[in-house]
Amino acid sequence: MNKNLYLTGFMAAGKTTVGKSLARALGRKFLDMDDLVRDALGMNAQEAFARLGEEAFRESETSQLKRLSRAKGLVVATGGGLAQRAENRSLMRAGGSIVNLELNLEKCKARLSPAERDERPLWQNQAALEGLFKARQKAYLDCDLLVNADQPVEDIVETILTHELPEDSFTLKLADQATQIISTWQGPQALKPLLKSRKVVILTDRNLAGLHLERYTARLENPLVITLPPGERSKTLRSAEKVYKEMLNNQVERGDLLLALGGGVITDLGAFVAATYKRGMNFILASTSLLGCTDAAIGGKAAVNLDGEKNQVGLFTRPEAVILDLKALTTLPRSRRAEGITEAYKTGLVASPPLAEFAEARIKTLLKGDIPQLARLVNYSARAKALVVEKDFTESGLRKVLNLGHTVGHALEALVKPRPSHGVCVAQGIKVIARLCLKRGLIEEHQANQMIAALDQLTPAKMQWPSVQDIWRVMQHDKKNQGGKVSFVLLNAKGRPLLADDVSQGELESAILELKGGR
């Protein structure tokens, strides 16, 4: 959804207040048409009505609307009378959605102080005001969404977002079990019908508990909540042992339900714990990070780190459901958005060229936190990854292509200090692969440059590279290796990956040197 959202409604229905809150939630720009018209005319509405007449004022509104209708991704609070013109409604609908905030006249009036009513020319005559309110109702009803404005602003925004965001739901078959994937703005509501009156254990981390836990506990009956420190330091056997003991101390049974609420670390650890506690208990993942929603939570992998090396102890699991919590994406900093975009782009490069092209064309918008565009990225990426996973659940062949950039990336995570994020390391890894593929004649220079240019927007300008000897040493322990050979995912083109175990240390060094030199 890159269309504009236009808020209509009578004066004092709350268009400006709701619009500002809605724009913040969407990561978009807010504009108030009253301000635009005032600036264009050089006077406020009261002066314009008195000096120019209402018709001139309405013409100025239409002129400003024509300009706005050529833009994209705006949240616009319209003037109370703008929707009366059929031309204006056509302009709004051509490139956007019309959301009407419905509020009766008495409540509109109660929201204004006497001084505010004096500033509005149409409020001076009660009988005329009532006639005007009645006359506008038909135009207001010509909308895409009608919302009761007599409720808290946050509830109005929730209603609009639930209607406008591109949600998705599909079934992922993991071996012989169906897992429901639910991409939604209303994560806790989606969870409710899945509970089946079971005792619930929520596993989360301290940061996420402050951001999202209350939304979920409000819909659960006395859940057991287990919180861990945030970050990779919690993705260990020691953390798993702590969770096991906490559940044992609280008489958690196999038939109960574990809800892993968080990003990739928590969903990985939660799945690992659930699959091994008392030989397996039921679990649901609720992903709150873009990286998790686009990649980590999809596909059933579960693992913990060992001695600083990633995902060395793990197994393949089958959650009952995976909730991709779109509302949680509003709390992510830019760096975390970049991680998720990188993983989605990776999936596109190996499995879905349209997904890769979608990401390339919108990287700046996605990095800014445009929630509708991020939701589309989540939906596209989740489905693209699911298609690969269904064909190779246990990663015996095809699924390995999803590790594009990860062989080098995991080595960088282990070696670089301070430790960069997973997304940054994978992006650097994919850039190395682009150079390798170019040198091998698998792709053309413009293709390599296109990938590197896209990933450059998602990574810091500088990174202190470790020696190639150290990178090669760490890669010797990569879990994807076979027969003592380091395994790489290469590309013939977007959507045409291949596995290779014949990349030499010299080739790798040459590719890294070219990348570091910007050549």
* H or E element, residue 35: helix 33-41
Contact predicate 149/156, CB 8 Å: yes
- Whose tokens are 């782009």? That residue is 345
Written in H, E and C, the secondary structure of 185-211 is: CCHHHHHHHHCCCCCEEEEEEHHHHHH
* H or E element, residue 341: helix 334-351
Tokens of 490: 């290469």
Tokens of 205: 């981390």
Contacts of residue 61, defined as CB under 8 A and 6 or more positions apart, other chains included, come to 33, 37, 78, 79, 81, 82, 88
Q: 58: annotated binding-site residue?
A: yes
Tokens of 301: 């992998």
Helix (H, G, I), strand (E, B) or coil at 168: strand
Helix (H, G, I), strand (E, B) or coil at 13: coil
Task: Write the single-letter amino acid at 323.
Answer: I
Task: Tell me how far apart the alpha carbons of residues 356 and 381 are, in angstroms, rounded to a whole number.
Answer: 9
Name the nearest CA neighbour of 278 among 256, 293, 298.
256
Q: 180: annotated binding-site residue?
A: no
Q: How far is CA 314 from CA 58, 256, 263, 306, 343, in A?
A: 66, 22, 17, 10, 21
Q: 13: annotated binding-site residue?
A: yes
How far from the centroid of its chain's Cα atoms is residue 465's Cα? 30
Contacts of residue 489, defined as CB under 8 A and 6 or more positions apart, other chains included, come to 350, 400, 401, 403, 404, 405, 406, 407, 433, 497, 498, 499, 500
Q: What are phi and psi of 200, to 5 degrees?
A: -115, 135
Task: Tell me how far apart the alpha carbons of residues 215 and 227 are, in angstroms, rounded to a whole number.
Answer: 16
Strands 309-316 and 301-306: antiparallel
Task: Tell me how far apart the alpha carbons of residues 172 and 390 are, in angstroms, rounded to a whole number.
Answer: 7
Q: How far is CA 312 from CA 347, 406, 470, in A?
A: 22, 14, 19
Contact predicate 382/183, CB 8 Å: yes
Q: 136: annotated binding-site residue?
A: yes
Q: 34: annotated binding-site residue?
A: yes
Q: Give the largest Cα separation in the chain, rounded.
A: 88
Q: 12: annotated binding-site residue?
A: yes
Contacts of residue 383, defined as CB under 8 A and 6 or more positions apart, other chains included, come to 168, 170
Contact predicate 194/320, CB 8 Å: yes
Task: Tell me how far apart the alpha carbons of residues 68 and 76 are, in angstroms, rounded to a whole number.
Answer: 9
* H or E element, residue 305: strand 301-306
Asked, as a colleague might, if the bond just before 223 is cis with ω within 30 of 0, I would say no
> From the CB of residue 176, how many other CB atoms can be counted at a distance below 10 Å?
7
Q: 19: annotated binding-site residue?
A: no
Binding residues for ATP: 12-17, 120, 151
Query: Annotated binding site for substrate, which residues?
Result: 34, 58, 80, 136
Which residues define the annotated binding site for Mg(2+)?
16
State the binding site. 12-17, 34, 58, 80, 120, 136, 151
